[in-house]
Amino acid sequence: MALARIARTNMRRSGGAFGSYASVKDTFYGIAYTPLCSLPFQVYFKANDKFSHIPGIKEQNHLNSSMRGISGTPHYQHSSANTPRVVEEPETELEHEKPRYAGLEATKPSEKPRVVVLGTGWAACRFLKGLDTEIYDVVCISPRNHMVFTPLLASTCVGTLEFRSVAEPVSQIQDALAKNPNSYFYLASCTGIDTGKHEIYCEAINYGGLPLEPYQFKVAYDKLVIASGAEPLTFGIKGVKEHAFFLREVNHAQEIRKKLLLNLMLSENPGISEEEKKRLLHCVFIGGGPTGVEFSGELSDFVMKDVHERYTHVKDYVQVTLIEANEILSSFDLSLRQYATKHLTKSGVHLKRGVVKEVHSKKIVLSDGTDVPYGLLVWSTGVGPSEFVKALNFPKSPGGRIGVDEWLRVPSVEDVFALGDCAGFLEQTGRRVLPALAQVAEREGKYLVELFNKIGKENGAKAFSAKDIPFGDPFVYRHLGSMASVGRYKALVDLRQSKDAKGVSLAGFVSWLIWRSAYLTRVVSWRNRFYVPMNWATTLVFGRDNTRIG
């Protein structure tokens, strides 16, 4: 306590702050060394929402050498009139004085280099899966501990698949996170990056069980891979975030399923008017991309089979509407778009062209003034950069993503790479920004992990050590095609490499078999390759589960 009081006294006299970096919360972590002491003592302060470092005599040089793991003790040769006196405090108080914020310091020369990965999406998990842990230690930081197999997420909303069938724990994708002594997974969000010191700053996901709120820490890296994903685009439309559901995470699907089943049960209560029943049982999806079409197809199957059998009192009030500003499945072949439109309409899905102006708790207002009452509203109109990505002081690609070169490097800083939905090629590369697709992210993760394993074998894995190592061929993306289910055992398969190219296009039952087979082979683990067909078989024989839990 006495030592901390001395440091606080120095802080009040100097009032200085040290260091800066790109941060969402403008947070900084510093190390203060107290004078009159032969050992370094860490004290963390927070003043004006910033962490401050108070330099002393000859201390700046010491700090510069210690940031990369070179330890030492500052020496003070002469005391001055301003040197504060040590005031003895009770020993019990001194015992309780501990550093508030911990972290992983820089790796030592004798240790394996550390790769820090931000995110657990398609790009991050493909990278983690292939990383050579004989060369690297790995730290993964994400607010979720699993990867979501997004192409099958719509099926979980209506009970075709169970939620665990589309979620893969990250520690099973890369078991070093659970087994290796210097590899870790942290349930946290990154709040800032100091590229000069090769450190990131994080805030743990806290539900009240940690001693501090917020609980913050730092992690030093040799190589940093940013794969933090993107956020749904709302275009600033009033009421979307407050009243609409999104469909990007397992918890989103859980909430949609709970709301859907709740509305079905509430509509059966006595005294509910026909108008209110129609509103409660009107399911509206905004966005005519593959997610919207697949969700509408799954929902129409659920209505035509399970709702008609188990909610006979209200089955005639259920309606599914898909609203799109242009054409549905705009990236697909024209013949496939026409097939999807005809099939969805036949399945009872009402297709409506329009632009949403406002969203209220029980209705949406279109730009032409039309009111559309709803009981369930799901929003999927594309993705854009997150607030974290926007706040980073990195060059940006068109659209606001983190700008990268042909090797997925952030060219303005050392040892930082970005991939997936949060990254895009810089304009000077002459390449277009790739679409936010799972296959794009997976292909980037595969390319980058091969690059990391290569430079690791050539002694380029440590910080600042890869400057003179040739990276080889740049990343090239080749589109393998697109698929979408439209319900009732029908699907679309478009194998063209681009929208204007020629290629094979299929629709119907055979395409549905191809769709299911392809997705089953892409499921990450053998565990889920067992769960998914078992869920499909169970649904086929017994129908979808309509139990509402929670």
Range 171-178, long-range pairs (CB < 8 A, 24+ positions): 171/145, 172/525, 172/527, 173/125, 173/128, 173/129, 173/147, 173/524, 173/525, 174/125, 174/128, 174/129, 174/131, 174/133, 174/138, 174/140, 176/131, 176/133, 176/137, 176/138, 177/128, 177/138, 177/140
Domain annotation for the chain: domains and CATH numbers: 103-232+385-456 (3.50.50.100), 245-381+481-542 (3.50.50.100)
Q: pLDDT at position 211, please?
A: 80
Q: pLDDT at position 547, please?
A: 82
CB atoms within 10 A of CB 532: 22
Q: pLDDT at position 17, please?
A: 37
**Short-list 502, 483, 504, 405, CA closest to 438:** 483
Q: pLDDT at position 468, please?
A: 87
Report the greatest alpha carbon distance in the chain: 89
**Short-list 302, 293, 343, 351, CA closest to 482:** 293
The phi, psi pair for 491, rounded to 5°, reads -150, 170
Kindly report the CA angle at 258 between 253 and 259, in degrees rounded to 5?
100
Contact 25, 48 (CB under 8 A): no
The CA distances from residue 434 to 64, 119, 383, 431, in Å, are 40, 19, 13, 9
Determine the Cα–Cα distance for residues 255 and 19; give it in Å rounded to an integer.
43
Q: Quote the tokens at residue 495.
A: 């194998």
Determine the Cα–Cα distance for residues 522 and 480; give it in Å rounded to an integer.
13
Q: pLDDT at position 546, please?
A: 83
Q: pLDDT at position 38, please?
A: 34
**Short-list 130, 347, 380, 366, CA closest to 252:** 380
Strand 199-204 versus strand 216-220 pairing type:
antiparallel
Q: Would you give per-residue pLDDT tens digits along the chain (550 residues)?
A: 444 444 444 444 444 433 334 444 443 333 333 333 333 333 333 334 433 333 333 343 333 333 333 333 333 333 334 434 444 444 444 444 444 458 999 999 999 999 999 999 999 999 999 999 999 999 999 999 999 999 999 999 999 999 999 999 999 999 999 999 999 999 999 999 999 999 999 999 987 788 888 899 999 999 999 999 999 999 999 999 999 999 999 999 999 999 999 999 999 999 999 999 999 999 999 999 999 999 999 999 999 999 999 999 999 999 999 999 999 999 999 999 999 999 999 999 999 999 999 999 999 999 999 999 999 999 999 999 999 999 999 999 999 999 999 999 999 899 999 999 999 999 999 999 999 999 999 999 999 999 999 999 999 999 999 988 999 999 999 998 999 999 999 999 999 887 777 888 999 999 999 999 999 988 989 999 999 999 999 999 999 988 888 7
The residue type at 326: N
The residue type at 455: I
